[in-house]
Amino acid sequence: MPDRPFISLATDFGAAYTAVCAGVMYGIVSDANVLVLSDEITPFDVREGAMLLRQALPYLPRGVHVGIVDPGVGTSRRPVAIRTGRGDVLVGPDNGLLLPAAEALGGAAAAHALEDPAYRLPDVSASFHGRDVFSPAAAHAAAGVPVDAFGPAVEPLPLDVPAPVAAAGELTVPVLYTDRFGSLVLGARPDDLAAALGAPEPGTPLDVAWTGPDGAERTARVPFAETFGGVPPGGALLWTDSSGWLGLAVNRGSATEVLGLAGVTSIVLRAVPAA
* pLDDT tens per residue, range 9-41: 999 999 999 999 999 999 999 999 999 999 999
Question: If you ran DSSP here, which 8-state letter would residue 118 be given?
Answer: G
Residue 158, in any domain of the structure? no
Task: Let me know if residue 135 belongs to a domain.
Answer: yes
- DSSP H helical ranges for 143-266: 190-197, 255-259
Report if residue 55 sits inside a domain. Answer: yes
Where is the domain boundary, 149, 180, 206? 149
Domain coverage including residue 77: 6-149
Q: How far apart are alpha carbons 73 and 82 in whole angstroms? A: 18
Q: Which pairs count as long-range contacts for 228-232, CB under 8 Å and 24+ apart, including other chains?
A: 228/252, 230/202, 230/203
Each residue of 32-77: pLDDT tens digit? Answer: 999 999 999 999 999 999 999 999 999 999 999 999 999 999 999 9
In a domain, 54, yes or no: yes
> Which range among 101-105, 204-208, 271-275 shows the weakest confidence by mean pLDDT?
271-275
Same-domain pairing of 121 and 183 = no
Which of 86, 118, 149 is where one domain is finished?
A: 149
Q: What is the pLDDT of residue 66?
A: 98
The 3-state DSSP class for residue 268 equals strand
Residue 2 pLDDT more than 50? no
Query: What pLDDT, on the 0 to 100 scale, is given for residue 275?
Result: 67
Interacting residues of 232 by C-beta distance below 8 A, sequence separation 6+: 251
Please list the residues that pair with 239 across neighbouring strands: 247
Let me know: does 169 contact 271? Beta carbons within 8 Å.
Answer: yes
Are 217 and 100 contained in the same domain? no
Say if residue 92 is in the same domain as residue 144. yes
* CATH at 188: 2.40.30.90
Residues 131 and 39 in one domain: yes
Within a domain: 154:
no
Residues in a beta bridge with 206: 222, 271
Decide if pLDDT at 274 tops 80: no
Predicted structure pTM score: 0.92
Write down the H helix ranges in the chain. 15-28, 46-56, 99-104, 129, 135-142, 190-197, 255-259
Q: Give yes or no: residues 143 and 178 share one domain.
A: no
CATH number at residue 97: 3.40.50.10790
pLDDT tens-place string over residues 78-94: 999 999 999 999 999 99
Percentage, residues of the chain above pLDDT 70: 99
Residue 59 belongs to some domain of the structure: yes
- The answer on 221 and 132 residing in a single domain is no
The answer on 188 and 104 residing in a single domain is: no
Given 97, 117, 149, the domain boundary residue is: 149
User: Are residues 22 and 142 both part of a single domain?
Assistant: yes
Q: Phi, psi (5° rounding) for residue 128? A: -135, 60
Q: Are residues 60 and 119 in the same domain?
A: yes
**155 belongs to a structural domain:** no
Q: How far apart are CA 184 and CA 178, in angstroms?
A: 5
In a domain, 160, yes or no: no
In total, how many domains does the chain have? Answer: 2
229 lies in the same domain as 176: yes
Residues 131, 170 within the same domain:
no
Is there a single domain that holds both residue 140 and residue 195?
no
